[in-house]
Amino acid sequence: MHTLMKRRVKIADRNLALCFPEMTRAERAAMVKENFANSGLALFETGMAWFWPKWRINKHVTIEGLDTLIDLEKQGKGVLLIAVHSLNLEIGARGLSDQTPGVGVYRPNANPVYDWFQFRGRMKRNIGVDRKDVKSMLRYLKEGYRMWYAPDHDYGRRRSTFAPLFAVEKACTTTGTSLLAHAGHAAVVPFSIVRDRRGGQYRITIYSPLQDFPKDADAAAVVTNRAVEQLILQAPEQYMWLHRRFKTRPEGEPSLY
């Protein structure tokens, strides 16, 4: 993949240069190579997540901080679980849902055959909601469900604002986090998924809810991106740097790619 996908190599390198300007060219090159290795592992992990039985998944996944979700459940509080597009998200999401099922927000695939396998694999114990179906998402949160949500990608100008992300002062950031949290009366709880490659284990860490999450969409985007930064830094080599995270720019500004 690293040899053939030259365009993606350039995108990953550019993302790292934008986010971490203090990194040397050699450090970025090493990180990109490791990132592609993790991308290759992700292909196998997807099959594991979609087809392995529960006992086998649980053998390799540990969860820290599950009490946080249990306490919120006792309060009848819906939870917006904030994650990032780490390359091990498939097996991490499966491991979490086996212990604490909820609602998965997803984008249907254009290929109907692949979409059938994807939906069946991801929603073994979860309820699936199209990311465009905001009404259903709000209803589930109000009813006290847990919802897996990843606000870290560039989803375009619609329902978005610009907020700092690492060294990039203006990163296009969805305002959906603020909408779901407040209209859905939900707690905002970040969680990370980290792979220990040598041990063959995956550690899910559920953090404390973000306190006083802003109602203002711009302020909420700033707080969300700070949480996203901390999640990425748990294992930066395992994050999806191959995505053009900063493709949408403010009006009149040139492309960063």
CA trace torsion 124, 125, 131, 132 (10° rounding): 100
Structural domain spans, the chain: 58-236
How confident is residue 100, by pLDDT bands cut at 50, 70 and 90?
confident
Share of the chain above pLDDT 70, in %: 100
Categorize the per-residue pLDDT at 120 as very low, low, confident or very high, splitting at 50, 70 and 90: confident
- Is the CB of residue 30 less than 8 Å from the CB of residue 2? no
pLDDT per residue as tens digits for the range 20-62: 999 999 999 999 999 999 999 999 999 999 999 999 999 999 9
Percent over 90 (pLDDT), the chain: 80
The model's pTM: 0.92
Cα(171)–Cα(222) distance, integer angstroms: 10
Find the helix or strand (DSSP H, E) in which 205 lies.
strand 201-206
Q: Cβ distance 175 to 159 under 8 Å?
A: yes
Task: Report d(CA 192, CA 235) in Å as an integer.
Answer: 9
Q: Name the fold adopted by 58-236.
A: Glycerol-3-phosphate (1)-acyltransferase (3.40.1130)
